[in-house]
Structure 1
Amino acid sequence: MDVEDQGSVVVGVTVVDQLIRAGVREAVVCPGSRSAPLALAFAEADRTGRVRVHVRTDERTAAFLALGLAKASGRVVPVVMTSGTAVANCLPAMVEASMAGVPLMVLSANRPLALVGTGANQTIEQAEIFGVHARATLSTHGASVRESAAGSADAGGSGAVDADVSESSATGASGASVRSVIDEAVAAALNPLNPGGVHVDVPLEEPLVPESTDVVSLLAREAASEAEPAGEVARDARENPRRNRALPYGEVGVDLSKRTLVIAGSSADEAWARAISDELADVPTIAEPTAAAPDFPVHSAAIGMFTAGVVAHGEYSAMTRPEHIILVGRPTLHRAVTALLKDPDIPVTVLTDVENYPTFATNIVQVGSRIRLDNDSPQAWLDVCRGVSDMGAEAVRQALRLTRAPASTESGAAGSGSAVDGTGGAAANAPDSSAPFSAAHAVAVVADSLSVGDLLVLGASTAVRDASRAGLPFDGVRTLANRGAAGIDGTISTAIGAALAHAAADPTAIRAPRTVAVMGDLTFLHDATALNIGPHEPRPSNMLIVVTNDNGGGIFETLEPGRDALRTFGDGTPAFERVFGTPTGANIEDICHAFSADYHQATSVEDLARIVEEHEELGNEGITVVEAVVDRAWRRTIEQHIATTVNPQR
């Protein structure tokens, strides 16, 4: 089958067939005229059961949906769109994919390359639109446009590659070369040493559609019947790229007779991270919610005590400063962790499953992918770590039990249709401050409800931090968050994609496994159109979204902009609330009803616990959104109490 003779319809069919051969099982498609050959080919593949297609009308949402599908499944998931700004809308998801090692593929249609730069309608320079954020940038027009260093499975860092592009036609490639480009893109996305997002640009000339869908079906059958080229990578290797793979670094040894602390963040290869966690089972570990659950957890609320060196209480004193740190994966949450890693007097061993490991630690002494532990940890050090962890956990429990009213600030409580008055006073329907209900309380309720087999997706701002306070990660509960670039964009879409992949992993289950997503109101509003799922599209089942609505940006309450001196100008004009608190007064109930999502509201810990328990017991055929109406002012009070309780200087 010759692409040059058969035209753009065959290009689309060939691309889709090769993606399926390479292990693709899910695809997200956006409507567009130029991308019609790809869209029709995917529709045919969906009809015949070769792939499951999800259609979305917003490319930004679509890209994050594909990100969630890829993140949860570990497979390449393409998102298809037309030319122009449609492609640019995928940049946030591409950045997150490559920062987090997720095999997202942006599959963009393009005008014939001869039209680029001529001012032709809906024609932009798409070849390098993602720049360094794509592991590889390729074109079906005959050659690789650019491949980033270590981007392909067998590359040793090729840098820029000049494209040898034929101008003989708008499509410019044979069927064999199209298949080769797709294989190269999949290999780059799944590169076990450096996985991430890739971009494949597909120039298409008119005619873009056949006379009937029968032509698409016929061409798809012909493409599927073609024999695989000799030497093509075995299917098992394509679908399981990390099985029996070579790791980037060798074995390193650590002497546990020195006070050793493990700090664990996210890893691209979760199986590798679990194996390393098992090896480190007896070593005290500070683990972020998205890390593998450790056997010897140290609560995150007490991290600062490790920087003190010695903690004294009455006649008792203990050495808390580690003599060695083992860094697993990439931690991003806690400033106190960064401070520990930047201490020039503490040597750091880095354990990584990818070539590009975090380098922000000051005193990295060795890098490995496997570990050998020598000697045993001193019992006194283990006792100190248990004590420190218990202090942190107890500080959080005490903070959540506080009943005194928080200090007055401009941060009003949220509510359906609530607003903050001009002077920053709380709205009339604010929760009673004598019965505290904050985002931290809401996340604690959700954490208490989690069971083995649940999938938890967290917003990248306050939700993931509150989950850390609640003691996550939990064994048997997979936890995901877009902490690659730590943006709040696309969280609902990511969660929906992850929920769909989570259910697809066990299609024989009587009831879909539960997916719970937790995020703040701004994160929810940022991606609310993700709830716009067409009537013919796959929908997640047994999915719960908890929105902690504090009417604005709660995270800033505890950061530098939240200081009292920055709350207002000298004449009383609000400063913090205007540009950091950013209350919206949005009616989340109306938004949910507009997209036919089931909606509930909780105004207390008891309300939320009841709703979550009912959902856990009964499930739901679709998406249930619970708006937890919380008070932002409590965040400062809770964090101040925790900091005071675990302050090593007291």
Structure 2
Amino acid sequence: MEANTQPDSTNLSPAVVASVLIVDELINGGVREAVVCPGSRSAPLALAFIEAERAGRLRVHVRTDERTGAFLALGLAKATGRIVPVVMTSGTAVANCLPAMVEASLSHVPVMVLSANRPLFMAGTGANQTIEQSEIFGTHSVHAASLGNLAGAAETLEAAQVATVSGADVDHAAVRNVIARAMNAASDPMRGGGVHVDVPLSEPLVPDSMDELSLFAQEVAQAGGDSAAATGNLEGGDCATGNLEGGDCATGNLEGGDCATRNLEGGDCAAKSSDPSETPRPVFSRPLPFGKVTVDLSKRTLVICGAVADMAWAREIIEELAGVPTLAEPLAPVPDFPVHPAGSPMFTAGAVSQGEYSAATQPEQIVVVGRPTLHRSVSQLLADESIHVIVLADTYSVLDVTGNVAVVGSTVDVVGEHPAGWTKVCQAISDMGVDAVRDVLTSSDEHFTGLHVAAVVADSLRDGDALVLGASTAIRDAARAGLPFHGVRTEANRGAAGIDGTISTAIGVAMAHAAEDPTAIRAPRTVALMGDLTFLHDVNALNIGPMETRPDNLLIVVTNDAGGAIFESLEPGDARLRTFGDGTSAFERVFGTPVEVNVEALCEGFGVNYRRAESVIALHDILADHEEQPAPGITVVEAAVERAWRRKMEKTIAQAVTPS
């Protein structure tokens, strides 16, 4: 078939035709993974995706829970840098995607919620499974669009009753245009994130036969030339990122089909491959939102680095700042001069003295890279009006909670030399933090806590591993255990810092991580570390159907302290607030939230491997065994720890790094 010849769709319904076009446009834009949740109204979309998988154009993951499905898409998108759509039917199915959409937009991860809908005239009529869903995510999506009647959905009840619309009446270019604009918005390097495309569909929702669907999909794929993604022919539209004139989308020209993968050098977005996992990760060449700033090292300077959208950009920044003391969170690049976070309270002390010697410990200047959010002492520093704060950002999301930021940039020019003794002071502060954590771990051999678990997990990591951290206590314990590490990709849902969807995210990361080298004899390892509440919050993620691909070599370590450990170190955990005068529990009931769940039985029910550790030595041995001979699929290791010791441990560390 000649390029740009519209395939014959006379015998197919508009819903089926539009669904095939949507899937083809997504693939032309670089999509290689998709998550599909079952539903009647979304049937044509589901069938179009399965047909594309049958043809070797992408890989489909089916999930029965839309919330876990959306977080699975988030994990896949985090690990690959590509847009991952998640498909569902109408109604509350769409609403279940809100937590993942919030996280995707705040973390600038390209996830697309592709929701089927009833014809729009049915909203507000009391029709079954019908809600106002076209703009359900509000400000939590970076772009929202509806196909309206482009997929042949009837505009009125009378039109629905006549039902004379043929698949041949579907405007191919218009359908593709809506999808291409959404892809550009999702993958915009400075404003991208979660997007929503609502697809109203009228019956009939399925083809007369699968052969008809396959033939039409094949013809559409072969035609290919009218793809908006491949041509950059995006007609009008804001795209939430700027005007889409000739495919610009405020991110640079879309040459050769650069939609779902930002700027692909070489231009072939549709990269022909019989195995989606063999499609290479995108190569980024991108504009930046802000200009160059100058950092004068003659001021006492501290770099604080947090989560970033573009790790390659962050590594370049950290290289430019080599030799500058850097407090890096686990999601940041590994710095040249790391400062342990446990010592960070010393930077708020102003100065310390011993005898006739004194030294200034407060930085005069802080350079923030990305979005650090973990440590309260860091927040105190950033709020100090006497400190000159510079923020370096790769997106338009700039961390400035207290309005204290003086300068914002995206690249840096370093001048000057460190003041005498400043780097020695920073090294001493870092050493104090390291010693404080080491002492509390070694002096409490009879105790087994979440910090012990994080230390053992950190010690077990090897070059090439991927690590997924729970967003609450786990990531903070990992920071104290010394992360980030060279050669270990670390992910966490710290955009909104919610604990929901962590297992699903880890599964997505693990499957994408394994697909990076599909010829490997053994899949590379992904380790996930999370607390018991985080695990239980998303335990349905382990419900993976027998016909679905399971992650291989995924190790989930669950720190089970029977409740919410983080509150032990926060104000509600104070001894004066734990009970009322008559002995009625306050803290334990509403903050500790103790649970009594048989994790082993849960794992058995889901068909997941299970191990249990009740000591540091036992956990070390289990992790060593798994590294040597990993069990296939998913393994859950339950580390049964004590929560009561947490508050004393936190107090001991704090006292060790607080100047007297």
1:302 aligns with 2:299: no
Which of 174, 177, 184 is 2:181 aligned to? 184
Once residues 579 and 217 of structure 2 are traced to their aligned partners in structure 1, the CA distance between those partners, rounded to angstroms, is: 65
Alpha-carbon offset, residue 142 of structure 1: 5.9
- Tell me which of 417, 432, 440 is aligned to 1:391: 432
Query: 1:158 aligns to what?
Result: none
Partner SS state of residue 384, structure 1: helix
Instruction: Please tell me whether the aligned partners of residues 252 and 371 of structure 1 are also in contact (alpha carbons under 8 angstroms).
Output: yes
Q: Deviations over 1:2-41 (max 9, x none)?
A: 8898411111111111100000000000000000000000
SS in 1 for 2:556: strand
Amino acid at match of 2:130: T
1:238 counterpart SS class: coil
Question: Partners of 2:546 and 2:655 in 1: how far apart?
Answer: 52
Instruction: Summarize the alignment of residues 140-179 of structure 1 with structure 2, pairs less than 5 Å apart.
Output: 140-141=147-148, 174-179=171-176
Aligned alpha-carbon RMSD (Å):
1.8
Aligned equivalent of 2:140, options 117, 120, 133: 133
Judge conservation of contact 1:341–1:362 (CA < 8 Å) in 2. no
Q: Cα 1:602–1:315, aligned 2, differ >3 Å: closer, same or farther?
A: farther
Please name the residue that 1:333 is paired with: 374
Q: Which residue of 1 aligns with 2:200?
A: 203
1:358 is paired with a residue whose SS is coil
CA contact (8 A) 1:22 1:235 kept: no
Tell me how far apart the structure 1 counterparts of residues 9 and 112 of structure 2 sit (CA, whole Å). 22
**In structure 2, how many angstroms separate the alpha carbons of the residues matched to 1:11 and 1:494?**
30
1:10 to 8, 11, 17: 17
1:598 aligns with 2:609: yes
Counterpart of 2:245 in structure 1 is none
Counterpart CA distance in 2 for 1:575 and 1:86 is: 36
Cα deviations by residue, 1:332-379 (Å, 9 ceiling, x for unpaired): 111111110010111111100012211225432211110000012234
1:19 alignment partner, SS class: helix
Residue 211 of structure 1: how far off its partner (Å): 1.4
Q: Per-residue CA shift, 1:259-297, capped at 9, x if unaligned?
A: 000010101111111111111111100111011111110
Structure 1, unmatched stretches of 5+, are: 145-164, 404-433
Q: In the alignment, is the contact (CA less than 8 A) between 2:83 and 2:261 conserved in 1?
A: no
- Provide the rounded CA distance (Å) in 2 between the counterparts of 1:283 and 1:361: 24
Partner of residue 468 from structure 1, selected from 479, 482, 486: 479
Match of 2:454 in 1: 443
What displacement does 1:244 show?
Answer: 2.1
Taking the aligned partners of 1:276 and 1:607, their CA distance within structure 2 comes to 41
**Contact 1:20-1:50 at 8 Å conserved across structures:** yes
1:376 is matched by which residue type in structure 2?
Answer: E
What SS does the corresponding residue of 1:237 show, helix, strand or coil?
coil
Structure 1 equivalent of residue 582 of structure 2: 571
Q: Percent identity?
A: 62
Structure 2 residues without counterparts, runs of 5 or longer = 1-5, 234-253, 264-283
Question: How far, CA to CA, are the matches of 1:523 and 1:344 in structure 2?
Answer: 37
Measured after TM superposition, the shift of residue 619 of structure 1 is 2.1
Shift of 1:618: 1.6
* Structure-1 separation of matches of 2:626 and 2:355: 48
- The whole-number CA distance in structure 1 between the counterparts of 2:232 and 2:353 is 66
- CA deviation string 1:138-184 (max 9, x = no partner): 1122689xxxxxxxxxxxxxxxxxxxx97788999611111011100
Question: CA separation in 1, counterparts of 2:305 and 2:567?
Answer: 25
What is the CA deviation profile of residues 620-641 of structure 1, one whole-angstrom value per residue up to 9, with x for unaligned ones? 3211100000000121121111
Deviation at 1:234, TM superposition (A): 3.7
One-letter amino acid matched to 1:9: V
Say if 2:536 is the partner of 1:514.
no
Change in 2 beyond 3 A, CA 1:377/1:222:
same
2:649, 2:334 → 1: CA distance? 25
What amino acid is aligned across from residue 378 of structure 2 in structure 1? V
Is the CA contact 1:250–1:368 (under 8 Å) kept in the aligned structure 2? yes
| Aligned mates of 1:501, 1:299 — CA distance in 2 | 31
What do residues 185-227 of structure 1 show as CA deviations (whole Å, max 9, x unaligned)?
1100001111100000001100001111111111110110123
How far 1:466 sits from its partner (Å)?
Answer: 0.2
**Partners of 1:207 and 1:16 in 2: how far apart?**
19
On the 8 A contact 1:266/1:290 being kept in 2, the answer is yes
**Alignment partner, residue 109 of structure 1:** 116
Task: Indicate yes or no: 2:212 matched with 1:215.
Answer: yes
**Map of 2:395 onto structure 1:** 354
- Helix, strand or coil at the partner of 1:61: helix
Residues 246 and 444 of structure 1: is their aligned pair in 2 closer, same or farther, counting only changes over 3 Å? same
Q: Secondary structure at the match of 1:350?
A: strand
Letter in 2 for 1:435: E
Kindly provide the amino acid, as one letter, of the partner of residue 185 in structure 1: A
1:45 matched to 2:86: no
Equivalent position amino acid for 1:50 in 2: R
Instruction: Give the TM-score of the pair, scaled to structure 2.
Output: 0.88
User: Contact conserved, 2:292 with 2:409, CA < 8 A, in 1?
Assistant: yes
Look up the match of 2:563. Answer: 552
Distance in 1, Cα, partners of 2:89 & 2:379: 42
Letter in 1 for 2:418: S
Query: Which residue of the partner structure matches residue 250 of structure 2?
Result: none
1:3 touches 1:11 (CA, 8 Å); kept in 2? Answer: no
Alpha carbons of structure 1 residues 460 and 3: separation in structure 2 relative to 1, 3 Å = farther
- Opposite residue 488 of structure 2, the aligned amino acid is V
- Contact 1:59 1:86 (C-alpha < 8 Å) held by counterparts: yes
Structure 1: how far apart are the matches of 2:424 and 2:580?
49
Report the counterpart of residue 441 of structure 2 in structure 1.
400
The count of residues paired between Structure 1 and Structure 2 equals: 599
Paired residue type of 1:238? C
Is the contact made by 1:142 and 1:178 (CA closer than 8 Å) also made in structure 2?
Answer: no
Q: Does 1:84 align with 2:95?
A: no
Q: Any conservation in 2 of the 1:67–1:104 contact (CA below 8 Å)?
A: yes
1:235 Cα deviation (Å)?
4.7
1:75 corresponds to: 82
State how far apart, in whole Å, the 2-side matches of 1:288 and 1:361 are: 20
Aligned-partner Cα distance in 1 for 2:149–2:293: 44
Does the 8 Å CA contact 1:262/1:327 hold for their aligned counterparts?
A: yes
Distance 1:483 1:65 in 2: 16
Select the residue among 250, 269, 275 that pairs with 2:291: 250
- Distance verdict in 2 for CA 1:278–1:143, change over 3 Å: farther
Shift of 1:239: 5.0
| Distance across 2 between alignment mates of 1:183 and 1:645 | 55
Q: 5 Å matches for 1:287-298?
A: 287-298=328-339
Tell me, yes or no, if the aligned pair for 1:351 and 1:367 is still in contact at 8 Å. Answer: yes
1:313, CA displacement in angstroms?
A: 3.5
Q: Please give the residue correspondences for 1:567-646 in structure 2 after superposition, counting only pairs within 5 Å.
A: 567-646=578-657
User: Which residue type is aligned with residue 620 of structure 2?
Assistant: A
- Residue 47 of structure 1 deviates from its aligned partner by 1.0
Distance change >3 Å, CA 93–CA 255, structure 1 → 2:
same
Moved over 6 A (4+): 2-5, 165-172
Residues 3, 175 of structure 1: 8 Å contact kept: no
Question: Structure 1 CA distance, aligned partners of 2:530 and 2:99?
Answer: 18
User: Are residues 32 and 646 of structure 1, via their aligned partners in 2, closer, same or farther at CA, if it must alter by over 3 Å?
Assistant: same
Distance 1:188 1:239 in 2: 9
Aligned partner of residue 407 in structure 2, secondary structure: strand
- CA distance in 2 between partners of 1:120 and 1:472 (Å): 52
Deviation track 1:43-78 (CA, whole Å, cap 9, x = no partner) reads 111111101000000001100000100111110000
**Which residue is 2:405 aligned to?**
364
The AA in structure 2 aligned to 1:212 is S
Q: Which position in structure 2 is the counterpart of 1:417?
A: none
2: CA distance, partners of 1:216 / 1:258? 67
